[in-house]
A and B are shown apart, each in its own frame.
Chain A
Amino acid sequence: MATATKNKRTNKVDFDKIRKDFPLLKREMNGKPIVFLDSAASSQKPNYVLRAMDQYYKKLHANVHRGVYQLSQEATDAFEKSRRLVKEFINAPSEKECIFVRGTTEGINLVASSYGRKNLQAGDEVLISTMEHHSNIVPWQMVCEEKGAHLKVVPINEDGEMIMSEFDKLLTDKTKIVSINHISNALGTINPIREVIAKAHAKGIPVMIDGAQAIPHLKVDVQELDVDFYTFSGHKMCGPTGIGILYGKAALLNAMPPYHGGGEMIETVTFEKTTYNTLPHKFEAGTPDIAGVVGLGAAVEYMQKIGHEAIAQHEHDLLKYGTAELKKIDGLRIVGEAKEKASVISFLLEGSHPYDVGTILDKLGIAVRTGHHCTQPLMARFGIPGTVRASFAFYNNKEDVDKLVEGVKRAARMLG
């Protein structure tokens, strides 16, 4: 990769150069050079990932795990190489524990459905937080309803942090699983998942972490965290859409019933009885998104080459700068001011609806998210209809922040 170059002398990553790896960032929106500040929804893709997927289809494509012929073997090798890369990326003990899923949503649904159905009984409880994405609420609600179990919710404080004394109270003998996000997509809060995991494990309760927002920003080491399930989406970390990972401890995954039935996940099938394949194939029914998996592997390589430390530092600088500059605007209120925060700024302009602010920013070529960010209960907690959310990735720069601040000032003038 000629791209993500480090300056050898200073060992500093050249983020201006890295920005050039992303062809989409060269386009315009509404006649202005695009300022893309919605990476928390989905990140843009570097050439390295695009090329890997293109080359896969041009030179390697055949169905995986099936053919006796060389091409199919090569496709399978490329596919399984990505699994290895992911294993190393999150430091999983084994490749078998890294299951390809469509994304975070499917990862959570798989666990809620398979683990939840098997282990939940009437009166049991599932513990989540107020700041969960709908995809970490609804699957649990569905299985709770079916089983007569209850969803318990850890409240948060005004800054958008989980109240840990309440967590302690809600973690009881009835709790069968805890499912919390690592980083809140709406507020940017980095949750104290180490503490959550330690406390749950002290009571023998497994923990699932929704890592959708964390994986693009932080180094995640599932062994060091001792997390039971960790799931994330490729498309938020420079990979393609439609592919993600569910990591689970082998002991738990082995004890769980399959999620989808079909090809690939079986050992033998007769009309009387089917026996299931071993991990990870047991949870990978059907032809997988092979090109997506290859793209995800390339995204892992790309991110690793830059390095999480440099990424986190660069994004933190943008967060600090953006927060300080936005706060200077009269009537602007930041929603979510946790002490530990990722590069997400949710805000409101006094007297203005987020939709109006977003519409004017759009006209200025600035892409931000407006609305409830799939966290309606969280918005209800703050008593607001939604927020404007700017999120920064490592390919953003200070100039993007300046344009955002100028844009918000313009919106404030027009709407005020």
Chain B
Amino acid sequence: MTINEIQDEIIEEFAFFDDWMEKYEYIIDLGKSLPLIDPKYKDEAHLIKGCQSQVWLHAANEEKQVDFTADSDAIITKGIIALLVRVLSGQPAEAVAHSDLYFIDKIGLKEHLSPTRSNGLVSMVKQMKMYGVALA
């Protein structure tokens, strides 16, 4: 699936939620589900410092395709990371570099990707795209 196909799929899934509670419970579950990153990458070199929460990001590439793994100390941040990884990981580097992540706004989580929120997510998305540029 392409980046936009996955985004549309997520938007459809989120349309089923009746209220913010259900939505956040789902994100929290995503956040709890699995460690997303190999613990050995949870180091200073992979750390993206936010004021509110911290994020670790690791990128591996195979044949012009980027695989992302990431983690956060905050569970809601981690749940949103799971969505971002689902959209961008395994995609062609070129597509990652030029991706437009409209799904975040559509599923009503825009506030979490606001620079003033300072949870590390804005920097993480920037970093992901930069890996795309570098590896394309």
CB interface residues, A 360-395, toward B, < 8 Å: 360, 363, 370-372, 385-386
On A, residues with C-beta under 8 Å from B are: 30, 352-356, 358-360, 363, 370-372, 385-386, 414-415
Asked if residues A414 and B52 are in contact (CB atoms below 8 Å), the reply is: no
Answer yes or no: B83 CB below 8 A from chain A CBs. no
Asked if residues B51 and A414 are in contact (CB atoms below 8 Å), the reply is: no
CB interface residues, B 54-94, toward A, < 8 Å: 54, 73-77
Answer yes or no: B7 CB below 8 A from chain A CBs. no
Asked if residues A353 and B24 are in contact (CB atoms below 8 Å), the reply is: no
Asked if residues A355 and B28 are in contact (CB atoms below 8 Å), the reply is: no
Q: 10 extra interchain contacts, Cβ-Cβ under 8 A, other than A356-B75, A363-B21, A414-B24? A: A355-B52, A355-B53, A355-B119, A356-B28, A359-B112, A363-B24, A370-B52, A385-B54, A414-B21, A414-B25
Asked if residues A385 and B73 are in contact (CB atoms below 8 Å), the reply is: yes
CB interface residues, B 24-44, toward A, < 8 Å: 24-25, 28
Answer yes or no: B16 CB below 8 A from chain A CBs. no
On B, residues with C-beta under 8 Å from A are: 20-21, 24-25, 28, 51-54, 73-77, 112, 119
Asked if residues B75 and A353 are in contact (CB atoms below 8 Å), the reply is: yes
Asked if residues A372 and B24 are in contact (CB atoms below 8 Å), the reply is: no
Asked if residues B20 and A355 are in contact (CB atoms below 8 Å), the reply is: no
Q: How far is the CA of A359 from the CA of B31 in the complex (A)?
A: 14
Chain B min CB distance to A409 (Å): 14
In this complex, the member of A358, A359, A370 whose beta carbon has the largest number of chain B beta carbons within 10 angstroms is: A359
Q: How far is the CA of A141 from the CA of B119 in the complex (A)?
A: 27
Asked if residues B20 and A414 are in contact (CB atoms below 8 Å), the reply is: no
Asked if residues B51 and A372 are in contact (CB atoms below 8 Å), the reply is: yes
Chain B min CB distance to A348 (Å): 13
Interface of B is mostly: helix
Contacts of A385 in B (CB 8 A): 53-54, 73
Asked if residues B74 and A353 are in contact (CB atoms below 8 Å), the reply is: yes
Asked if residues A356 and B76 are in contact (CB atoms below 8 Å), the reply is: yes
Chain B min CB distance to A69 (Å): 44
Contacts of B24 in A (CB 8 A): 359-360, 363, 414
Contacts of A358 in B (CB 8 A): 52
Contact check: which of B21, B25, B77 meets A355 at CB < 8 Å? Answer: B77
Asked if residues A353 and B21 are in contact (CB atoms below 8 Å), the reply is: no
Contact check: which of A354, A371, A414 meets B28 at CB < 8 Å? Answer: A414
Contacts of B112 in A (CB 8 A): 359
- Per CB-CB distance, the 10 closest pairs between chain A and chain B, nearest first, are A353-B74, A355-B74, A355-B53, A355-B52, A356-B76, A356-B75, A363-B20, A371-B52, A356-B74, A359-B76
Contact check: which of A353, A363, A414, A415 meets B53 at CB < 8 Å? Answer: A353
Chain A min CB distance to B20 (Å): 5
Contacts of A370 in B (CB 8 A): 52
23 pairs, CB–CB < 8 Å, chain A vs chain B: A30-B20, A352-B75, A353-B53, A353-B74, A353-B75, A353-B77, A354-B52, A355-B52, A355-B53, A355-B74, A355-B77, A355-B119, A356-B28, A356-B75, A356-B76, A359-B24, A359-B76, A363-B20, A372-B51, A385-B73, A414-B25, A415-B28, A415-B75
Q: How far is the CA of A95 from the CA of B76 in the complex (A)?
A: 51
Q: How far is the CA of A269 from the CA of B85 in the complex (A)?
A: 63
In this complex, what residue of B is CB-closest to A353? B74
Chain B min CB distance to A354 (Å): 8
Chain B min CB distance to A374 (Å): 10
**Contacts A370-B52, A371-B52 known; A353 to B73 CB distance under 8 Å?**
yes
Contacts of B75 in A (CB 8 A): 352-353, 356, 415
Contacts of B76 in A (CB 8 A): 355-356, 359
Q: How far is the CA of A386 from the CA of B73 in the complex (A)?
A: 12
Q: How far is the CA of A5 from the CA of B112 in the complex (A)?
A: 42
Q: How far is the CA of A353 from the CA of B119 in the complex (A)?
A: 12
Contacts of A386 in B (CB 8 A): 52
Chain A min CB distance to B103 (Å): 19
In this complex, what residue of A is CB-closest to B25? A414
Q: How far is the CA of A30 from the CA of B111 in the complex (A)?
A: 12
Chain B min CB distance to A247 (Å): 32
**Contacts A414-B21, A414-B28 known; A371 to B74 CB distance under 8 Å?**
no
Q: How far is the CA of A231 from the CA of B52 in the complex (A)?
A: 28
In this complex, what residue of A is CB-closest to B20? A363
Contacts of B52 in A (CB 8 A): 354-355, 358, 370-371, 386
Contacts of B28 in A (CB 8 A): 356, 414-415
Q: How far is the CA of A30 from the CA of B24 in the complex (A)?
A: 14
Q: How far is the CA of A157 from the CA of B15 in the complex (A)?
A: 50
Q: How far is the CA of A353 from the CA of B25 in the complex (A)?
A: 15
Q: How far is the CA of A355 from the CA of B25 in the complex (A)?
A: 15
In this complex, what residue of B is CB-closest to A363? B20
Q: How far is the CA of A188 from the CA of B73 in the complex (A)?
A: 26
Q: How far is the CA of A386 from the CA of B54 in the complex (A)?
A: 12
Q: How far is the CA of A309 from the CA of B53 in the complex (A)?
A: 39
Q: How far is the CA of A414 from the CA of B28 in the complex (A)?
A: 8
Contacts of B25 in A (CB 8 A): 414
Contacts of A363 in B (CB 8 A): 20-21, 24
